[in-house]
Amino acid sequence: MFVVVPLTLTVLFTNCSKSSNTPSDPPVSTSSNNTIQWLQESNYNFVGVDYPMKMGRFQSGDLSAPVYVQWVANGCSSQCRTLVIVNPYGGIDWSGEAADQKWLDRPNAANGYIHADDEGPGYIPGASVGTLFYKKQTPAEGVGMGAVFLPNKVSLLVVSHRFYLGRNLKDYIQEFQRVVSFFVEQGTVDTNRMAFFGASLGGFISLHSALDFKYPPKALALLTPLIDLKKQVQFIDGLSGFISDPAVVAAYTEFFEPYLRRVFDFTGGRPAHVPAAYSPYTVEGIAPRLKSKALILHDTWDTLTPVSEAISLQQQTSALSELLLYQHATGISWNTFEKDHSQKSEGLNQENTWPFYSLFIYNHLLDPSETIVLYYDYLKFSTYFLEVKAAAGRAQNISGIKNRMLDLCSARARMIDYTGQIGEVSGRFYVQQIMKNIWGFSRPEITICDDLKTFTF
């Protein structure tokens, strides 16, 4: 559901200079007209190239609050091929709103702090136990979630939902759809070359925003997403059934309460009490409405969003969706594992997922003749394939890797190891080396892609 900021290369590659203009307080919207006010402009630098970036306040009379967006137009002024990124949690430090400034003024905002979810729906002073993690996010960090897409002339639209200011999950979907519609109808974004990306709660917003939407994306990349609200609530309600330590149960209860309050605020209660309200947000309700190609990446040690939701959705939408799992030799140790989408020492993380979901998105946004620039961490990405082989040895299903390897097996893919351990190589050469060194499958580079099609992992 939950607090994840993937794909952040800010420390390695970025520099963001703000303008001197101070954002004004948001005016009250009194009509249904959609408007955007650009508050700041600056340059975002990725590997030595400056990209113009704007930060703006979007308003509509149909929305309860302004929505803050970042737009990086990558060599285009209209009909831009665009990756739309959901940013549920980041603390905005450029809105000019008193509501944001209150959170920014608390001690340790730059590093993050825990605070009561006192602006969330249904908060009861002295009774609500839920807390949330707040951290200030600079404009560079917001755009950094999609930095690796910039060398491929993909524009970025980052939509910030400011979870800490309350509202509910349905509000986030409406905000996202309204912003995307605005950019499409202004002629800025090309719907035929548009993709959505989200992780955790961001995955939920991306997925459900694509359903029944007049501008469905061509591709969805979902990293450890929340998918099925009914199953999620049932999972949370049943925590004490598989966690024996009362202190751990209490910690999970505190963590999940802000999410449950946002769910109940628009559904009206638990699934057993209002089943109809949950129907659109279940796997069964999603499956017939999915129109976009989707790649779901999940870790079997996810202690926040059960991997069973991802497996079930892929099975029911197999014509449109694919699933890539990071699998482990054992089940979850609920009393000792961290509350996270993967465990710190190993698991699905940004370094071993960038190439996979980047390529999936590029295949839907780029022309077949275009070169693909693919940044990756050589050691961590290569280690992933060792884990896949180990999973196969445990007789676990690793069928999801075949299409990902075929995507990677391309002479047009330029793979650049940003850690500098090896020089630039083609995707085809990289696949040849992985297949030879890990699987013992030695074939010439010129034929490896065709040979891979008949290989059984």
pLDDT tens for 104-138 read: 999 999 999 999 999 999 999 999 999 999 999 99
**What per-residue confidence (pLDDT) applies to 2?**
53
Whether 42 shows a pLDDT value over 70: the answer reads: yes
Regarding predicted confidence, which is higher, 41 or 11? 41
Whether 273 shows a pLDDT value over 70: the answer reads: yes
Structure pTM? 0.92
Cα gap 292→226, rounded to integer Å: 17
pLDDT tens for 355-408 read: 899 999 999 999 999 999 999 888 888 888 998 999 999 999 998 999 999 999
Structure tokens at 299: 């870790």
Regarding predicted confidence, which is higher, 18 or 297? 297
**What per-residue confidence (pLDDT) applies to 349?**
64
Partners of 54 in beta bridges? 41, 71
DSSP annotation of 240: G
Q: What are the residue ranges spanned by the domains of the chain? A: 10-365, 367-457
Q: How far is CA 59 from CA 38, 63, 66, 346, 407, in A?
A: 12, 7, 5, 42, 39
Partners of 321 in beta bridges? 294
Cα gap 347→327, rounded to integer Å: 8
Partners of 417 in beta bridges? 376
Instruction: Tokens 């605020």: give the residue.
Output: 265
DSSP annotation of 305: S
**What per-residue confidence (pLDDT) applies to 281?**
98
Domain 10-365 has CATH 3.40.50.1820: yes
